[in-house]
Amino acid sequence: MRWFICLMILFSQRTMAQQLFLAAGQSNAVGMADSAMSVPCAPGTAFEYRWASDSLVYLADPVGERELHFESAHTGSAWPAFAKAYHSLTGKQVVIVPAARGGSSCHFKAELNNYGTWDRKGRLPLIDSAIIKARAAVKKTGQPIAGILWSQGERDANAINAKQLTAGEYEEQLMAVVKQFREALGRQVPFYIIQTGHYFNHPAAGFDAVREAQENAARKMKHVFIVYTGTTGFAGKGWMKDEIHYNQTALNHIGATVAEQVAQKEKR
């Protein structure tokens, strides 16, 4: 039976239409929840691309590998829920390309220790590593990147609170990140933003400034979309794992909701 399942998965890789999504950002993009509560995907419908082995593997938490400075979920993420919902809505096979690192900043001024930054400057720039991984996935599958799923902003929000960074600088750098991805992966690649939530026992001002900057970027740039806004309400729902990280119920909801939004926008 096992060989038959493996054969069916291999067959589906070759016959079913594929959509590649780069999942990038910081710790809530990595996933800091519980794989035991993660959503299972049907065999042959969802895969994860692994750069070190240049392979597609069944998508299941913990999603991600420690490669190219990126991390694996600890232990549950949003991406199986996204893949399952997206496949249900479109009939297309999903390939997730994980490229997230906990604590990473958008702007180099917000970079903390060795956590990395999505800026071109800084101690540990990450965008080139994400592009390397995305291009390898494209080569492996023969399909373009269909969209970038972005969950980031907490580090920059704290930097704004600490007066190390302005909201305008964050907004400008976020737009620069979009442009850099598009220069490498396609000029019209959609960029889907999961809005940053709040951090318990920290001023909300910096986090609200990041959320506003994300909305501004979506308004100013074509094919940049806010696809999830409800993160600030997670505390009231009991959907937080700790002061800053989302639990698995939250991540499952994010994944399914984002899939619905992406599928809708692809029809337009």
pLDDT in tens, 169-204: 999 999 999 999 999 999 999 999 999 999 998 999
CB neighbours (10 Å) of residue 70? 25
Distance CA 153, CA 143 (A): 29
**Surface-to-core class of residue 174, CB atoms within 10 Å of its CB (0-12 exposed, 13-18 middle, 19+ buried):** buried
Residue ranges of the chain with pLDDT lower than 70?
1-16
Average pLDDT score over the chain? 94
pLDDT tens-digit readout, 103-128: 999 999 999 999 999 999 999 999 99
pLDDT of amino acid 15: 52
Closest CA to 156 of 227, 221, 215, 205: 205
pLDDT of amino acid 184: 98
Q: Which two tokens stand for residue 189?
A: 């690649």
Overall pTM > 0.85: yes
- Do 125 and 117 touch, CB atoms closer than 8 A? yes
- Do 150 and 194 touch, CB atoms closer than 8 A? yes
pLDDT of amino acid 128: 98
Provide the β-strand partners of residue 155: none
